[in-house]
Amino acid sequence: MNLDELRNIDLRRVGNLSLGAKASLLALTFAVIVAGGWWFMWSDQLDHIDQEKRQEQALRDTWRDKKRMAVNLDAWKKRLVDIQQAFGALLRQLPNKSEMDALLNDINQAGLGRSLQFELFKPAGQETLSDFYAELPVTLKVTGHYHELGAFASDLSHLPRIVLLQDMNIAVVSAPSPKDHTGKDALLQMEATARTYRYLDEAEIASQQRAAKERGKK
């Protein structure tokens, strides 16, 4: 059955068609029904099925992640405890506001204990506040010999509080004696910034949090 014959079919006399023509007409009708169903119903449903499959996969991935976390829950709890203990140990190395003067005195005494002469020792500007701690830079200028300066720097690193020496500059004040071939008897002057830290009290932390919220709103 060709296209011309298909065009000339009289639907009122379908029963008189040959078996081949009936089969062709049936196949064409079936194809039209399938195409219409695909266009008007099945394509949307298949898209919905694909979307549901993707959602199912995402849920499976989430479930696996949570299962993995649940299996390792005890290990995570122990790790959290270890972190909290380590953080507490570091926090204890920071003085509070009332202990800051004592820390500055400890730095001064460390220098005097090594027979150094202080030319300058004063806070360099305002404190810099962070989330839970404040940083105070202290400018110092001390004069002494090589071993004394080295011992002073070592003493600061062994203080129970955190003190960092930065921006060091060492200059020769007087040359060593002719008998000193190592140069270690020379009188030296060291300029540096000692950065000390303290933790904030509750009122200061609350103030920092309010300021952070205000910045987040802008």
User: How does pLDDT run across 80-104, given as a tens digit for each residue?
Assistant: 777 877 766 666 667 677 777 888 8
CA distance linking residue 147 with residue 11, whole number of Å? 116
User: How does pLDDT run across 110-166, given as a tens digit for each residue?
Assistant: 999 999 999 999 888 788 877 778 888 999 999 999 899 999 999 998 888 888 898
pLDDT for position 120: 92
Whose CA is closest to 166, among 194, 198, 196, 135?
Answer: 194
The b/e string for 104-132 (b: 16+ C-beta within 10 A; e otherwise) is bebbbebbeebebeeeeeeeeeebeeeee
Number of Cα atoms under 13 Å in the Cβ half of residue 83? 6
How do the domains of the chain map onto residue ranges?
Answer: 1-71, 97-204
CATH of span 97-204:
3.30.70.60
User: How does pLDDT run across 13-61, given as a tens digit for each residue?
Assistant: 555 555 666 666 667 676 767 676 666 666 666 677 778 888 888 888 8
Angle at 111 between CA 113 and CA 133, to 5 degrees: 125
